[in-house]
Amino acid sequence: MSEKINIAVIGGGIIGCCVALELVKDQTDIYVFEKNPGIATGENQSSRNSGVLHAGIYYEQELRPLKARLCVEGNRLWYEFAQKYQLPCIQTGKLIVANDQAESRNLDQYLRQAKINGVPDVRKIGADEIRQREPNVSAHSALLVPTSGIIDPTALLRQVYASASNHGAQFMPETEVVDLALSDGEVVTHIRYRDGQTERIRANTVINAAGIQAVDMARMLDPKIPIKSALIRGDSFKFYRNRRPQLFLRGMNVYPTPIVIDSPTGRHHTVGVHLTPTFDIVDGQMGIGDTVTVGPKLLPVTHFDDYSTPPPPPEAFLENMGFFPDLTPPDLQYHQGGIQARLDGYHDFYIKTDRHTPRVIHLLGIDSPGLTAAPAIAKYVARLLKSNCR
């Protein structure tokens, strides 16, 4: 490849691919560097998640303005994209359930927040309507969130990758960026190919979308950047909704009332262990499948590939599952684990220009709702890039 390129995107997950697809609309000579063997297989966060399209109800404007704004925008954009390309995607709706009066009062806060964030048609419902929608869910009350849904993350990633590639973006799998430096106003990317050969390539612009390694990448240019990773692994179990009648779900996302937890890296808001339907072929059509995932249960880890630490036992996943009372530990089988690119003490997406050069944009802490927000994040990056070039 050329020793000088226009734009280098580091990371070929859903964020990097969406950024490439957005930038290729009015830019040329765009390269996406991905250290894993495949671009469209989603080895990291892009596939190891629940596949939920979040509505944007959880994020306070004061503390997490980018998540609040970009989640709502991304939700709409993905439904449009999925319809255009006929991707597996169902607007299932979501129930956020309260077990008692105290939790019901907490839901009122999220109802107000939904209106502030522009999440459409959210309303509070009682126990009778909950049972009409999901007969095996038992709760005092719930928020009904119609714009929540599910999407197949791997199919989504493949289509974004194909669209960006078809429009001219160049994808380089098994190509790892091992160093970044500034030289004569340009960014020098030191890359290592799959055969071990290395090369230094000058780029006019670098977009750091390296996921769980994005903070480490940023420190190559700015060792004193005031951001620290707080990696969290989320493990999920699964059960089969047709195993017995008491486990049947019609296909909605079912979440508990959010809580605040204390962890070694500070206080975090968590949506808690929840129930998520999955896809399958039903009567020749893509529809709600038999498998329901339960999770994630969060576990702090110190390294981006820590999958050796045992997950919590099945009993731990049922501790706050009073709203689905007939689910028992023997019903559960291990599903998957994935590590989130969470930040220590910084609760929003960190999407900013490098402090030393306007030619580099860092995307740090793109954890949940990163999948939902991805196309909106890409548009945000494109606007930031245009602003930097003025």
Say which CATH number the domain at 334 has. Answer: 3.30.9.10
Please check whether residues 248 and 314 belong to one and the same domain: yes
Residue 104 lies in a domain: yes
| pTM for this predicted structure | 0.95
C-alpha 329/C-alpha 237 separation (Å) is 10
Please check whether residues 204 and 299 belong to one and the same domain: no
Please check whether residues 9 and 127 belong to one and the same domain: no
118: its two tokens:
């522009």
Residue 253 lies in a domain: yes
Residue 3 has a pLDDT of 86
Residue 79 lies in a domain: no
pLDDT tens by residue, 62-94: 999 999 999 999 999 999 999 999 999 999 999
Convert 156-165 to b/e letters by CB count within 10 Å (16 or more is b): bbbbbbebbb
Please name the amino acid found at residue 82: A
Please check whether residues 246 and 312 belong to one and the same domain: yes
Say whether pLDDT at 45 is over 90. no
Owning domain of residue 216? 4-47+155-227+347-388
pLDDT tens by residue, 10-28: 999 999 999 999 999 999 9
Rounded to an integer, the average pLDDT of 137-141 is 97
The number of residues in the chain equals: 390
Q: What is the mean pLDDT of the chain?
A: 92
Residue 81 lies in a domain: no
Residue 158 has a pLDDT of 94
Rounded to an integer, the average pLDDT of 194-198 is 90
Please check whether residues 220 and 234 belong to one and the same domain: no
Rounded to an integer, the average pLDDT of 184-195 is 89
Residue 80 lies in a domain: no
Please check whether residues 164 and 266 belong to one and the same domain: no
State how far Cα 358 lies from the chain centre: 26
Q: Per-residue confidence at 338, pLDDT binned at 50, 70, 90?
A: confident
Q: How many structural domains does the chain have? A: 2
Say whether pLDDT at 326 is over 80. yes
Say whether pLDDT at 282 is over 70. yes
Please check whether residues 222 and 247 belong to one and the same domain: no
